[in-house]
Amino acid sequence: MGVGRPAMRKRLAALGRAAFLCAAAVFASATARADATLHPLWEVHGKHNTVYLLGSIHVLRPADYPLAPAVLDAYGHAKALVMEIDMGEMDQESVQAEMVASAQLPEGKTLPQVLGTVRYAHARQLASQLGVELSTFDGFAPWFVAEAISQLQLAQLGFQPESGVEMYFLGRARTDGKPVTGLETAHDQIAVFESLSMDTQAEYLVSSLEEAGELPKEVDAMVHAWQRGDTQWFAGQLRRELGRDPAIYQSLLAGRNRRWIPRIEALLGENEDYLVIVGTGHLAGSDSVIELLRKDGFGVVQR
């Protein structure tokens, strides 16, 4: 979804996990200015603490490290981390099994049937141009196929889920003994995709394939813009890729932002500092976590 969409893994369980981890890897804020001194990091002050909001790219290359000192400083101040989901649960076989099962079409259904003859032929031609045989995924839901092919492209470009921001800080937190919790569960994320109609998923797959040719040109620009806090670059990507599909925008971004706000605001009532790490698309535009916090009267400053 958007720039930085989800490495196609050898095992379906790992493939499914990677797809979810990359569901929202876009970053935008129409009101923030681009500045070389800025980072994809905001801070919000409660009465007795600070909550840091870090926009994540879920898959990165090893060469994209080290992270900016300001980001590492925020981690250093935080006594606990909060991510979209508790990454520790991703190791549970039951969670992986549920993800794989959710990616499969109901018995008797196939991708050609869901897409229809004309749309499937178009999608198959586009996938072929990427070196992918679409029939490999004929038993899977369209949303999953879109994410898997995007992840395959990213893997070919050297991007790795294990090098993503969440995985980096999960490793640091385990070493340092800092607790990590989630804003939602893996089941919640599965339900988001399952709630999309098959037609919406089909259109998502086709549009994803139509845009796939641009991905190799965009990924370097994406990482560079993220590193320097260039919100305008990401704002344009978000408008182009999600603005035309209200159902996907509401399901994958806006609706989840609204559900997260009470939890984040509750953190602001505590005494310890927190680092909240979410896909950077959730820090985007008028429906973003940033703007929802501002509407509730909190001062949010980009660092």
Angstrom distance (rounded) from CA 225 to CA 229 = 6
Contact 284, 29 (CB under 8 A): yes
Is the pLDDT at 279 greater than 90? The verdict is: no
pLDDT in tens, 161-178: 889 999 999 999 999 999
- 299 Cβ contact list (under 8 Å, min separation 6): 44, 45
Is the pLDDT at 47 greater than 50? The verdict is: yes
Q: Establish if 198 belongs to a structural domain.
A: yes
Task: Give me the number of domains the chain comprises.
Answer: 1
Is the pLDDT at 15 greater than 70? The verdict is: no
Other CB atoms within 10 Å distance of the CB of residue 8: 20
Q: State phi, psi for 65 to the nearest 5 degrees.
A: -100, 155
Q: Establish if 59 belongs to a structural domain.
A: yes
Q: Establish if 5 belongs to a structural domain.
A: no
Q: Establish if 1 belongs to a structural domain.
A: no
CA angle 244, 282, 51 (to 5 degrees): 165
Average of pLDDT values for 230-236? 72
- 19 Cβ contact list (under 8 Å, min separation 6): 6, 99, 103, 144, 147, 148, 151
Q: Calculate the average pLDDT of the chain.
A: 84
pLDDT in tens, 254-271: 899 999 999 999 999 999
Coil, helix or strand at residue 235: helix
Residue 81's nearest CA partner among 184, 178, 163 is 178
Angstrom distance (rounded) from CA 254 to CA 246 = 10
Is the pLDDT at 226 greater than 90? The verdict is: no
91 pLDDT tier (thresholds 50, 70, 90): low
- Owning domain of residue 271: 12-302
pLDDT in tens, 126-136: 999 999 999 99
Q: Establish if 3 belongs to a structural domain.
A: no
Q: Establish if 7 belongs to a structural domain.
A: no
Q: Establish if 263 belongs to a structural domain.
A: yes
Other CB atoms within 10 Å distance of the CB of residue 226: 26
Q: Establish if 6 belongs to a structural domain.
A: no
pLDDT in tens, 94-110: 777 888 888 999 999 99
Confirm whether pTM is higher than 0.85: no
**166-173 LR contacts (CB < 8 Å, sep 24+):** 166/21, 166/56, 166/58, 166/83, 166/84, 166/87, 166/277, 167/87, 168/65, 168/67, 169/75, 169/81, 169/83, 169/275, 169/277, 170/81, 170/83, 170/87, 170/88, 172/75, 173/81
**Considering the chain, what percentage of its residues have pLDDT values greater than 70?**
84
